[in-house]
């Protein structure tokens, strides 16, 4: 699989099952299949429906009609109106390390700017070291406490970036 062979498109309803599998398998891979994470979040099985919320979008990365990852922007409850959350950034192992994550984040942040957001927020976990390094390269800075009401109390890393 090569980066140039991967397409990025908006989420469709028929993507729900494949995306839920990617999210849960990735969390399990890093021993993060525990309460307080999206592993147990019912919305993980209905991402298309979740991202119908105004000022939200989810992008799917696809290779030969098979979903290999995705990333989105979500208007998380409790965040200031000028702040969105970069969410559900997951890639299958074979799609990592080729710059796909960077492309998905760029596309997501472009959408956020077009929607008038001034800040992007992330919740993550210390075990996802490579992802945290990518977020740092994008200019995300660590926060001391969570923002908003995501309900993901299992996330112990919070970051924010000015768009």
**Domains located in the chain, CATH noted:** 3-162 (3.40.630.30)
Q: What are the strands of the beta sheet with 141-142, ordered from one edge? A: 7-10, 57-63, 66-74, 83-91, 119-124, 157-162, 141-142
State the virtual CA torsion across 126, 128, 129, 135 in degrees, nearest 10. -100
HSE (CB half, 13 Å, CA atoms) of 66?
Answer: 11
Mind listing the pLDDT tens digit for each residue in 19-55?
Answer: 999 999 998 998 888 887 788 888 899 999 999 999 9
Q: What is the CA radius of gyration of the chain?
A: 14
Cα 5 to Cα 22: distance, rounded to the nearest angstrom: 19
pTM for the whole thing? 0.91
């Amino acid at each position: 699989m090569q980066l140039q062979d991967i397409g990025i498109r908006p989420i469709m309803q028929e993507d729900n099952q494949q995306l839920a599998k990617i999210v849960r398998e990735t969390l399990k891979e890093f021993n993060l299949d525990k309460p307080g994470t999206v592993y147990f979040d019912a919305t993980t099985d209905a991402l298309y429906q979740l991202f119908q919320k105004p000022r939200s979008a989810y992008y799917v990365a696809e290779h030969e009609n098979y979903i290999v990852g995705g990333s989105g922007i979500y208007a998380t409850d409790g965040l200031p109106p000028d702040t969105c959350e970069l969410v559900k950034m997951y890639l299958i192992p074979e799609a990592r390390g080729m710059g796909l994550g960077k492309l998905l984040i760029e596309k997501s942040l472009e959408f956020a700017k077009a929607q008038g957001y001034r800040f992007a927020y992330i919740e993550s976990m210390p075990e996802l070291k490579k992802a945290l390094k990518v977020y740092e390269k994008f200019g995300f800075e660590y926060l001391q406490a969570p923002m908003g009401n995501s309900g993901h109390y299992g996330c112990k890393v919070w970051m924010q970036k000015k768009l």
